[in-house]
Amino acid sequence: MATLSINVAGDGVARMIAAANILSNRVPDAARRALNHTGDKAKTQVKRAISQQIKAPQSAIAKYSRIHGKRASYGGLHYEIVCRGGPIPLKHFKAYQTKAGVSAAPWGNRKVYKSAFMPMN
């Protein structure tokens, strides 16, 4: 019968265990930063998608709505995109004055809003 004997000399194993402990403490920080980075990119894509869906410029979306990300913190690893908005003026939908009212194209469909008018700026 053969006998296997291993002798470990030096502090290499202790240093490896210490390094593993340090890395295990940093994993949640790295995961949180990665989640926030990816969540911010997703928030940008949401802004672009909303802009394309309603056919309004992104600047109008930013001005008349609130799109913000609830970022991951030390309390938990979750990222939430919240969007709240109000009415966007017709001038952001390629509007122009006609005799019948104002013609504008929200959501990509041109429509005449009777009895409406565009203020002179």
In a domain, 4, yes or no: no
In a domain, 105, yes or no: yes
Residue 3 confidence (pLDDT) above 60: no
pLDDT at 41: 92
| 45 and 74 together in one domain | yes
| 36 and 17 together in one domain | yes
Greater pLDDT, 63 or 19: 63
Q: What is the mean pLDDT of the chain?
A: 82
| 16 and 71 together in one domain | yes
For 117, counting Cβ atoms within 10 Å of its Cβ (0-12 exposed, 13-18 middle, 19+ buried), the class is exposed
| 118 and 60 together in one domain | no
| 72 and 95 together in one domain | no
- The pLDDT confidence band at residue 112, using thresholds 50, 70 and 90, is very high
**Which contacts qualify for 31-36: CB closer than 8 Å, 24 or more apart?**
31/77, 32/72, 32/73, 32/74, 32/77, 35/72, 35/77, 35/78, 35/79, 36/69, 36/71, 36/72, 36/79
Residue range 25-45, pLDDT digits in tens: 666 788 888 888 998 998 889
Could you tell me the residue range of the domain that residue 118 belongs to?
Answer: 89-121
| 20 and 64 together in one domain | yes
